């Protein structure tokens, strides 16, 4: 049988979400990294991505004659394809809460980070300060939500994968966790202990280093080590 193919990119937050989920589920897949560089970004776009996704973005998943896109839809497919280990809670209300957290990471938190991407070098100006305040407010909400639980929805779930990757990009853009969010800082450290997370974030860190971009301090241990003489 042909293995499923996951199309992603070296700095694709949403592609990384889907890849972590596939690894957590121990699914057999081929990872296709589409062309990307810091100047042209994803141009020219990969032909299969253009054909399958009207939004012209990764991630895209091909499994036999099934072709889907959007990280959340890929999450849902993986959960039905391989229910164990479960990455959504079983109880309807708990599952709904976890799904809401995943949605909030993408649609409430991340828009502020997207704004910051175009404001680097001007973080002291009003538009950036507004975006940073939005991210800080979200951190405060998530700090309260996690309370004394190990993960955002109690047990480890897709919600954790989504927010971990979104916050990684937030950290890169200046929206940093601080001592005001000790529970989230501890949660982030637990996330980095997971082999599936490290397997995906490690190459992303290596790519950032290779193009001379800053690596967030909490990921420094994943940076390639250069030998000295």
- Which CATH number belongs to the domain containing residue 59 in this structure? 3.40.30.10
The answer to whether the bond into 59 is cis (omega within 30° of 0) is yes
pLDDT(227) > 80 = no
Q: What is the C-alpha separation between 66 and 29, in angstroms, rounded?
A: 14
Together in a domain, 132 and 184:
yes
Q: What is the C-alpha separation between 135 and 219, in angstroms, rounded?
A: 20
The band of 1, judged by pLDDT with boundaries at 50, 70 and 90, is low
pLDDT computed for residue 59 by the predictor? 98
Q: What is the C-alpha separation between 158 and 147, in angstroms, rounded?
A: 18
* Nearest of 226, 197, 190 to residue 209 by alpha carbon: 226
Buried b (16+ CB within 10 A) or exposed e, 164-178: bbbbbbbbbbebbbe
Instruction: List pLDDT tens digits, range 64-106.
Output: 999 999 999 999 999 999 999 999 999 999 999 999 999 999 9
Q: Which residue has the higher pLDDT, 227 or 56?
A: 56
pLDDT computed for residue 228 by the predictor? 38
List the domain range (segments joined by +) for residue 34. 4-81
Q: How many domains does the chain have?
A: 2
Does residue 151 belong to any structural domain of this protein?
yes
Q: Which tokens in the block code for residue 192?
A: 């980095």
pLDDT computed for residue 99 by the predictor? 97
Does residue 208 belong to any structural domain of this protein?
no
Model pTM? 0.94
Does residue 170 belong to any structural domain of this protein?
yes
Q: What is the C-alpha separation between 88 and 85, in angstroms, rounded?
A: 9
């Amino acid at each position: 049988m042909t293995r499923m193919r996951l199309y992603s990119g070296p700095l694709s937050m949403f592609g990384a979400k889907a890849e972590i989920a596939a690894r957590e589920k121990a699914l057999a897949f081929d990872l296709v990294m589409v062309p990307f560089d810091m100047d042209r970004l994803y141009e020219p776009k990969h032909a299969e991505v253009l054909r399958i996704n009207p939004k012209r973005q990764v991630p895209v998943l091909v499994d036999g004659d099934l072709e889907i896109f959007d990280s959340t839809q890929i999450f849902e497919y993986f959960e039905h394809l391989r229910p164990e280990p479960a990455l959504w809670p079983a109880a309807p209300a708990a599952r709904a809460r976890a799904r809401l957290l995943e949605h909030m990471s993408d649609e409430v938190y991340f828009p502020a980070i997207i704004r910051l991407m175009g404001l680097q070098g001007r973080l002291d100006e009003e538009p950036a300060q507004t975006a940073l305040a939005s991210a800080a407010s979200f951190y405060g909400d998530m700090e309260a939500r996690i309370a004394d639980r190990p993960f955002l929805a109690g047990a480890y779930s897709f919600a954790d994968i989504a927010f971990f990757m979104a916050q990684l990009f937030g950290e890169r853009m200046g929206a940093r966790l601080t001592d005001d969010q000790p529970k989230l800082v501890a949660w982030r450290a637990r996330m980095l202990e997971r082999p599936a997370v490290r397997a995906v974030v490690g190459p992303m860190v290596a790519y950032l280093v290779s193009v001379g971009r800053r690596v967030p301090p909490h990921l420094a241990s994943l940076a390639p080590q250069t030998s000295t003489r």
